[in-house]
Chain A
Amino acid sequence: MSVLLNKDSRVVTQGLGATGKFHLQGCREYGTQMVAGVRPGKGGTDFEGCPIFDTVSQAVEKEGANVSVIYVPPPGAADAIMEATDAGIPLIVCITEGIPAADMVRVKRFMEGKDSRLIGPNCPGIITPGEAKVGIMPGYIHKPGRVGVVSRSGTLTYEAVHQLTLAGVGQSTCIGIGGDPIIGTTHTDAMKLYNDDPDTDAVIMIGEIGGNAEETAAAWVKENMTKPVAAFIGGQTAPPGKRMGHAGAIISGGQGSAADKMAALTAAGVTVAKSPADMGKALLEACEKQGVSVKS
């Protein structure tokens, strides 16, 4: 099994521009149930056999959608997340990059106390290998298995997954939580999910400079995590005060450096890879230390 996403998930796509359409097909080819699309004003039409609705709540009502994936451009993306929340969608995955932070402050407040979980924004999405993929990651590099992967970055996640797969280690669920300063699901949230998941035996956590979410996760892991954890932090050589591509990747006011995060994780008993080429190796080391076997 897995966390959050499985073969029974029914996905509605919000934002059917070229990108949304391309990935709707990609996810469907992977075997995901892509049951609906939303495009206000185009309700009643279809895209490649996938019915289009005017609103998310119609997609929920008519097609039983329980996951939403959002490709809506930045000016409308926050509204799209809140629409999905309002329609009661339990899992909302926002791929959109470039949403103003102020919009995300409102989204976060709006979602408080509601039952929806947001993944992203500015993320590759989530995949449960062999069951379903929701997002833009290349499905074929993954292999079903028992290691969870959680990351703020897209291509660096693919790199980690690739290393695991090459080593014969499959993945339970891989979550790209996104590179923005305000995100729906944090490293700590993901750790809790993996810790409770009977089908995840170990976790790779990939962080980067900026904020202190990795330190928070390290503190949680130290107190609660029963499974082996390996980690890599990107941006060890990044200069302070510069935004490294991701809106959230910036060392500011002496906070958010890779060194601090690596130290916090190491102190929490996490096996930290210094080189990004050693993420898979670090995971195997962490497993060996705790006598856990993840090879299949």
Chain B
Amino acid sequence: MNVHEYQAKELLRRYDVAVPRGIMITKGADAKKAAEDLGTPIVVVKSQIHAGGRGAGAIVADAAEAAKIFNNNLKDEGLPKHDKPGGVRLAKSPGEAAEIAESILGNILVTKQTGPEGKVVRRVLIEEGCDIAEELYLSILLDRAVGRLVVMASTEGGMEIEKVAEETPEKIMRKTVDPTVGLLDCQARDIAFSLGIPAEKIGDAVKFLKSLYAAYVDLDASLLEVNPLVLTGAGDLIALDAKVSFDDNAFYRHADVKALRDDNEEDPKELRAAEFDLSYIALDGTIGCMVNGAGLAMATMDIIHHHGGEPANFCDVGGGANAEKVAEAFKIILADENVKAVFINIFGGIMKCDVLAEGVVEAANQVGIKVPLIVRLEGTNVDRGREILANSDIDIISAADMTDGAKKACEAAGITG
């Protein structure tokens, strides 16, 4: 799960990580007071959406314009710059801050990461200005290959780290952390020196890095990225931006973090699926998929593509799907207007095919399916399952195997291979 920048900074502040003072507002009318309360000559007005590239993005009024700018100016590098105001702007007075906030709130911010639809800005962070001497980069993440956390730092702040890694990998310093002792002073010092922190400020920098590490571990984060990390004119480190993602598997011990979720940033169908313990991800094809198991669900998308179609979604109904879950999955899949056919691909292990077949029939009757339904069943009690489907009064195209199912689904969706 991702959170907004202002939420990430509030969390980091709890761990004594230096962040700029700021006030989150949802109404333009509150911007002036927020800027006055901060009291700095310059404030920054920052759109709060879960996507990067906000500064270079464009604030637009409608979806058509968002798509146009995305395709013409943002989606690839090297495209001409757009002439719209960006999502992060400086204001030289409280009045100007209010004007900018008014012009942002309720409008769409489209960036290279939002996709052509952009995102509606509902929250704005008014933040004090900052005396920037150097822009640096710092992140903490899990190195899957070694099963340990790694701290990454670079002097190339403000740039995407993937780009730095590609072009100038020697500018990235990595420190792998032994979980039994945590981030060591010497490791933090090494990073601080590599970032060019002045000698008399190294002690402060070590403290900053260790606070950041403590926040990551204590909050069960899965990514913590400070980009840019700013070295101020006075030689202090401050997290000018902060991106934090959390490990959903650890929510049972972090109810407060889970509560930070902004449902506006999530796909409503994915949220609904999660309520029913279904794993669903919307895609942009025309063939809906319902599968048991994440691996087989991905493979089902792949085989549809292999035969010329495109999947409308990823959907794993899990090992214990019953009629209620299947019905819910149907509703979510069919809520997507692009869906021209639904392909159910089940390999029953623990889940018995006859139980699943009953669920499909019951759910189909309940939901009323108006697109072709292709079912491939295999595994435990498969014969009884096929019999139940054959004897039901719903119109089912039965498939002999995965290939047959994928081909029939493509055909039913009007795709000619």
A positions within 8 Å CB-CB of B: 74-75, 98-102, 104-106, 108-109, 124, 136-138, 140-141, 151-159, 162, 179, 181-182, 206, 208-213, 216, 232, 234-239, 242, 244-249, 253-254, 258, 274-277
Q: Is A136 in contact with B350, judged by CB distance below 8 angstroms?
A: yes
Given A157-B295, A245-B297, A246-B294: A101 in contact with B142 (beta carbons within 8 A): yes
**A106 near B179: Cβ-Cβ < 8 Å:** yes
Q: Is the CB of A101 within 8 A of B249?
A: yes
Shortest B312–chain A CB gap in Å is 11
Count how many pairs of residues, one from A and one from B, have CB atoms less than 8 Å apart in the complex: 173
- Asked whether B41 is an interface residue with its Cβ less than 8 Å from the other chain, the reply is no
Residue of chain B at shortest CB distance from A159:
B347
Q: 8 Å CB contacts to A: which residues of B291-312? A: 291-306, 310-311
Shortest 4 CB-CB contacts between residues of A and residues of B? A153-B295, A245-B294, A155-B293, A156-B295
A-B contacts, 23 listed (Cβ < 8 Å): A75-B253, A102-B217, A104-B147, A109-B147, A137-B349, A153-B298, A154-B296, A155-B347, A156-B293, A156-B295, A156-B299, A158-B349, A159-B299, A159-B347, A159-B378, A236-B302, A237-B305, A238-B298, A244-B298, A246-B294, A249-B298, A254-B162, A258-B302
Task: Out of B161, B180, B249, B295, name the residue touching A247 (CB < 8 Å).
Answer: B249
Q: Taking A141-B379, A275-B403 as contacts, is the C-beta distance between A182 and B147 under 8 angstroms?
A: yes
- Shortest CB distance A79–B (Å): 14
Contact flags B118-151 to A (C-beta < 8 A → 1, else 0): 0000000000000000000000001011011100
Q: How far is the CA of A182 from the CA of B178 in the complex (A)?
A: 15
Q: Is B187 an interface residue (CB 8 A)?
A: no
Q: Which one of B149, B349, B406 contacts A155 once the chains associate, using CB atoms below 8 Å?
A: B349
Contact B249 A245 (CB under 8 A): no
A188 CB to nearest chain B CB (Å): 10
Separation of A184 and B403 alpha carbons in the complex (Å): 33
Known: A159-B296, A211-B144. 9 other contacts (CB 8 A): A109-B178, A138-B349, A138-B380, A141-B379, A153-B296, A234-B295, A237-B310, A239-B283, A277-B402
Contact indicator B250/A105 (Cβ below 8 Å)? no
The residues of B that contact A138 with a CB separation of less than 8 Å are 348-350, 379-380
Cβ B292 vs Cβ A155 within 8 A: yes
Instruction: Check if B279 is an interface residue, CB within 8 A of chain A.
Output: yes
Q: Please measure, in the bound complex, the distance between the C-alpha atom of A106 and the C-alpha atom of B181, giving whole angstroms.
A: 11
CB-based contact A108/B293 at 8 Å: no
Q: Say whether B222 faces chain A, with CB atoms less than 8 Å apart.
A: yes
The smallest C-beta distance from A76 to any residue of chain B, in angstroms, reads: 11
CB distance from B343 to the nearest CB of A (A): 13
List the A side residues contacting B18 at CB < 8 Å: none
- Interface residue SS majority, chain B: mixed
CB atoms of A179 and B347 under 8 A apart: no
In Å, the complex CA distance between A140 and B349 comes to 10
Contact with A along B156-185 (1 / 0, CB 8 A): 000001100000000000000011100000
CB nearest to A103 among chain B residues: B250
**Max chain A Cβ within 10 angstroms of own Cβ: one of B142, B148, B283:** B142
Is A181 touching B142 in the complex (CB atoms < 8 A)? yes
Interface residues of B in 373-416 (CB under 8 A from A): 378-380, 401-403, 406
For the complex, what is the distance from the CA of A145 to the CA of B370, rounded to whole Å? Answer: 46
Q: Do the beta carbons of A208 and B249 come within 8 Å of each other?
A: no
A141 and B316 CA atoms in complex are apart in Å by 22
B247 interfacial by beta-carbon distance below 8 Å = yes
Residues of A within 8 A of B253 (CB): 75, 100
Complex interface: chain A residues within 8 A of B90 (CB): none
Q: Which of chain B's residues 19-55 have a Cβ closer than 8 Å to chain A? A: none
User: Shortest beta-carbon distance, B194 to chain A, in Å?
Assistant: 21
**Shortest Cβ distance from residue A19 to the other chain B in the assembled complex, whole angstroms:** 9
Residues in chain A near residue B291, CB distance under 8 A = 155
Contact A100–B249 (Cβ < 8 Å): yes
Once the chains bind, are B295 and A246 in contact (CB under 8 Å)?
Answer: yes
Q: Considering the chains assembled together, what is the distance between the CA atoms of A242 and B311 in angstroms?
A: 15
B310 nearest in chain A by CB position: A237
B353-388 Cβ-contact flags toward A at 8 Å (1 or 0): 000000000000000000000000011100000000
**Cβ of A216: which chain B residues have Cβ within 8 Å of it?**
145
Q: Closest residue to B216 on the A side, CB-wise? A: A102
What residue in chain B is nearest A215 (Cβ atoms)?
B145
Contact B378 A162 (CB under 8 A): yes
